Amino acid sequence: MTAIAIDGPTGAGKSTIARRAAERLGFIYVDTGALYRTIGLSMLRRGIDLSDAAAVAAGLDGLKVSLRFQDGEQRVLLGDEDVSGEIRTAEVSMAASKVSAVPAVREFLFQLQRDMAKSNNVIMDGRDIGTVVLPNADVKIFLTASPEIRARRRFEEMIAKGMQTTYEEVLSDLEQRDYNDTHRAIAPLKPAPEAVTIDTSGDTFDQAVERVLAVIRGS
């Protein structure tokens, strides 16, 4: 099996670029961020204090999070409920950042992610795939762009989905999440030493996909 690890900050386009690259290669696409978002959503629904690591850890008891692939699309399940759309709000994004800093949450999802890579050719994206989850991945890519570009992309995506927000709010949330992700004690966001960094600030979506595919095929 072949494993491709794509890491990078929020709004870098990892999910859309990795999904398209996986389609082109005939691989399974695994969005690990969706798993953390689903745990964040579960905690928010139950009113669990996200700054209380012990409470978050206790909230994992009996929790079932899984991925299902339907017509080539990844769907995320919380128990038996498909929450693929609900996890894409700014509130859930920030919740995901907070719960991902809790060691018990990372341990909870660790084996699930590795098992997917053992049984499928995968492109897996997240924050610590190349450094922690799949340290022996065949190819490691660190995908990034400037904060302003990433915020603009995320803002336009949210507006297209009918969400009410402003560019300034999106940029502020993104910068806060960048800080949280790079400063957490457990598995902070950083490029793996052997990762190829791709800055897509000046690229169109198709150009970014081609650059990622070129790295994968040239490995």
Residue 12 assigned ligand-binding role: yes
What is the structure's pLDDT at 219?
65
Determine the Cα–Cα distance for residues 31 and 16; give it in Å rounded to an integer: 10
62 is in an annotated binding site: no
| Alpha-carbon torsion (55, 98, 107, 116), positive or negative | positive
Residue located via tokens 């509130």: 91
Sign of the alpha-carbon torsion through 81, 85, 91, 96: positive
Q: Given this model, what pLDDT does residue 68 score?
A: 85
Per-residue pLDDT of the chain (219 residues; tens, 9 = 90+): 899 999 999 889 998 999 999 999 999 898 888 999 999 999 999 999 999 999 999 999 999 998 888 776 789 999 999 999 999 888 999 999 899 989 999 999 998 889 889 988 999 999 899 999 999 999 999 999 999 999 999 999 889 989 899 999 999 999 999 999 999 888 899 999 999 999 999 999 999 999 999 999 996
Residue 112, pLDDT score: 86
pLDDT at 170: 95
Any known ligand binding at 85? Answer: no
| Residue 15 assigned as binding residue | yes
The closest of 92, 130, 101 to 113, measured between CA atoms, is: 130
pLDDT tens column, 141-185: 999 999 999 999 999 988 998 989 999 999 999 999 999 999 988
pLDDT of residue 111: 85
Residue 135 marked as a ligand binder: no
C-alpha to C-alpha distance for 21 and 30, rounded to whole angstroms: 12
Within a 10 A sphere around the Cβ of 189, how many other Cβ atoms? 22
% of residues, the chain, pLDDT over 70: 99
The pLDDT assigned to 72 comes to 67
188 is in an annotated binding site: no
Residue-by-residue DSSP string for 150-170: HHHHHHHHHHHTT----HHHH
Question: What angle is formed at CA 169 by the lines to CA 163 and CA 173, rounded to 5 degrees?
Answer: 100
14 assigned ligand-binding residue = yes
Q: What kind and span of H or E run contains 197?
A: strand 196-199
- pLDDT for 82 equals 96
pTM: 0.82
